[in-house]
């Protein structure tokens, strides 16, 4: 059902491919009202989402009320429609399901916004819904049993990636110009690559996870966008610590938006086009090599070099020890929230198997994994300290996989996790190290599927990433690329 008619449909079409910065400028100058921008997004969601299944909770009436309220905050993105990923980030009065069927059935409203959601609202963003995610964000695809699969706008038979797949599909299809996302092993960068978007995993402690989550873990939260300037502007609106944060990234020297268009100088960039332990699809290798050639034409020095520790064959098992322990905590939290014991019928097989794996992991095992991660982090940081500015890699080892490739297999419940490792060898190391990394939509396969490239900077250096990302966006623009049928 269309939410608007007549001229409003024209507004929906006219604003569909404008980024958040441009939409905010229309509202600021009075060319449209926040209510018109929100109605336009609602029209697009109603028209496009039935084929994609990106939005699992519509908050349309709340959004209309917020957009029409004179008290809508006069922030830099006043009136711009926005979506929140349905994983850990709560919106006051709305249920949060984390992709889990038991939480979906319970439909318990959250008592408050998280710190980051509150900052999104303070920036003037209007939340129009919540987006699909794999259960507890554990897989690099978005196919939860609770809500069904989200489809990639570029090819509906393919995955949009995960765990921020619902947000990515919505932004790529033009439903909204930007959406909230989170990244504990690649979950911003993976869907950015699969859906042709800009996806920045910020430094650990750059944005607050308060009031309930701890910044000392693997995950961070930011957004998925279609433009570098939106990525920077939204980080300006939301970064910084909150009371009680355990990890605090160093403050930027100036606004991130000032880095867009700034001269990055001549940088020393390492190229890692393949992976020492995992096969890389030719299209993904080609994407990295083409990006390296472009960076050289832009005046940077690029050598095929990377941190030797990225070939550490013990990294995956240590990462899995922490990942499975976090899963066991997540499942315990569901039981606490529902007030009852949680069993295998309440959780998808892959996640239950991970929790069982964690049950056989002792406290000393977890501490040993944390200590090993500390050693790994220092070894990685040493490469940048030795004089390198950036590392360039493919974001994924394959183009977007078909839906079902990472499906649950009750006979072999850990099979999706093993298959995931083949898809995402390049992203998890930088969750372990806490470094910022960005995926940019610089390449496409011969049949038109997006393929992203990843740039990684030293801890706290989002400024360098944004300068180079904007330089690449100007040299090889991607804004005109749009999924067929959207």
Contact indicator for 242, 80 with CB cutoff of 8 Å: no
Q: Is 62 in the active site?
A: no
User: Which neighbouring-strand residues pair with 439?
Assistant: 199, 454
Which residue in this structure is represented by tokens 């920036």? Answer: 123
User: Which neighbouring-strand residues pair with 131?
Assistant: 55, 85
Can you tell me the distance from the alpha carbon of 46 to that of 50, in angstroms, rounded to the nearest whole number?
A: 7
Element (H, E) at 39: helix 34-48
Can you tell me the distance from the alpha carbon of 154 to that of 195, in angstroms, rounded to the nearest whole number?
A: 7
Which residue in this structure is represented by tokens 């005046």? Answer: 299
Which residue in this structure is represented by tokens 């711009």? Answer: 80
- How many residues are listed for the chain in this entry? 486
Q: Is 85 in the active site?
A: yes
Q: Could you tell me where the DSSP H helices lie in 107-223?
A: 115-122, 165-172, 189-195
Can you tell me the distance from the alpha carbon of 53 to that of 30, in angstroms, rounded to the nearest whole number?
A: 33
Instruction: Report CA-CA distances (Å) from 220 to 28, 211, 385.
Output: 31, 14, 23
Q: Could you tell me where the DSSP H helices lie in 29-93?
A: 34-48, 60-68
Question: Catalytic: which of 138, 159, 163, 167?
Answer: 163
Can you tell me the distance from the alpha carbon of 421 to that of 249, in angstroms, rounded to the nearest whole number?
A: 29
Question: Catalytic: which of 85, 164, 203, 227?
Answer: 85
Q: Is 164 in the active site?
A: no
DSSP 257: G
Can you tell me the distance from the alpha carbon of 365 to that of 363, in angstroms, rounded to the nearest whole number?
A: 5
Element (H, E) at 440: strand 437-444
Beta strands (DSSP E) in 275-430 are 301-303, 390-394
User: 6: helix, coil or strand?
Assistant: coil
Contact indicator for 211, 458 with CB cutoff of 8 Å: no
> Which of 126, 97, 125 shows the shortest CA–CA distance to 110?
97
Question: Catalytic: which of 187, 193, 227, 324?
Answer: 187
Provide the token pair at 110. 């959250």
Q: What is the largest CA-CA distance in the chain?
A: 65
Can you tell me the distance from the alpha carbon of 147 to that of 132, in angstroms, rounded to the nearest whole number?
A: 7
Provide the token pair at 97. 């399901």
Contact residues for 61 (Cβ-Cβ < 8 A; gap 6+)? none
- Active-site residue list: 85, 163, 187
């Amino acid at each position: 059902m269309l939410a608007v008619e007549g001229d409003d449909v024209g507004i929906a079409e006219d604003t569909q491919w404008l980024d958040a910065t441009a939409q905010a400028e229309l509202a600021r100058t009075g060319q449209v009202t926040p209510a018109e921008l929100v109605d336009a997004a609602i029209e697009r969601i109603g028209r496009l989402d039935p084929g994609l299944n990106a939005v699992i909770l519509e908050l349309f009436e709340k959004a209309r009320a917020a957009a029409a309220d004179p008290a809508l905050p006069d922030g830099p993105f006043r009136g711009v429609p926005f979506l929140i990923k349905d994983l850990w980030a709560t919106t006051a009065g709305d249920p949060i399901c984390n992709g889990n069927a038991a939480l979906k059935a319970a439909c318990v409203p959250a008592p408050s916004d998280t710190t980051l959601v509150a900052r999104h609202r303070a920036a003037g963003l209007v939340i129009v819904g919540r987006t699909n995610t794999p259960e507890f964000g554990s897989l690099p695809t978005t196919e939860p049993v609770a809500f069904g699969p989200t489809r990639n706008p570029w090819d509906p038979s393919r995955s949009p990636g995960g765990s921020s797949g619902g947000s990515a599909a919505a932004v790529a299809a033009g439903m909204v110009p930007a959406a909230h996302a989170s990244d504990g092993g690649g979950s911003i960068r993976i869907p950015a690559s699969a859906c042709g978007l800009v996806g920045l995993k910020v430094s650990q402690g750059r944005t607050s996870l308060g009031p309930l989550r701890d910044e000392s873990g693997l995950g961070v939260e930011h957004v998925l966008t279609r433009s570098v300037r939106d990525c920077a502007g939204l980080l300006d609106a939301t970064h910084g610590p909150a009371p009680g944060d355990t990890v605090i990234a160093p403050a930027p020297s100036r606004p991130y938006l000032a880095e867009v268009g700034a001269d990055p100088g001549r940088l020393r960039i390492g190229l890692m086009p393949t992976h020492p332990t995992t096969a890389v699809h030719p299209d993904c290798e080609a994407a990295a090599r083409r990006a390296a050639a472009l960076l050289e034409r832009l005046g940077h020095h690029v050598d095929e070099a990377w941190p030797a520790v990225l070939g550490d064959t013990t990294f995956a098992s240590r990462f899995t020890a922490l990942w499975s322990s976090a899963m066991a905590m997540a499942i315990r939290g569901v039981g606490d929230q529902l007030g009852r014991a949680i069993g295998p019928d309440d959780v998808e097989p892959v996640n239950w198997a991970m929790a069982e794996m964690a049950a056989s992991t002792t406290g000393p095992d977890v501490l040993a994994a944390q200590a090993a991660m500390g050693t790994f982090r220092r070894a990685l940081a040493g490469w940048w300290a030795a004089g390198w500015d950036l590392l360039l890699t493919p974001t994924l080892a394959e183009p977007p996989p078909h839906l079902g490739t990472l499906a649950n297999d009750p006979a072999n419940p850990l099979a999706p996790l093993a298959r995931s490792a083949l898809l995402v060898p390049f992203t998890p190391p930088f969750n372990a190290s806490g470094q910022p990394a960005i995926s940019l939509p610089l390449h496409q396969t011969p049949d038109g599927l997006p393929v992203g490239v990843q740039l990684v900077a030293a801890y706290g250096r989002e400024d360098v990433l944004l300068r180079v990302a904007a330089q690449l966006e100007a040299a090889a623009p991607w804004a005109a690329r749009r999924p067929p049928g959207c």
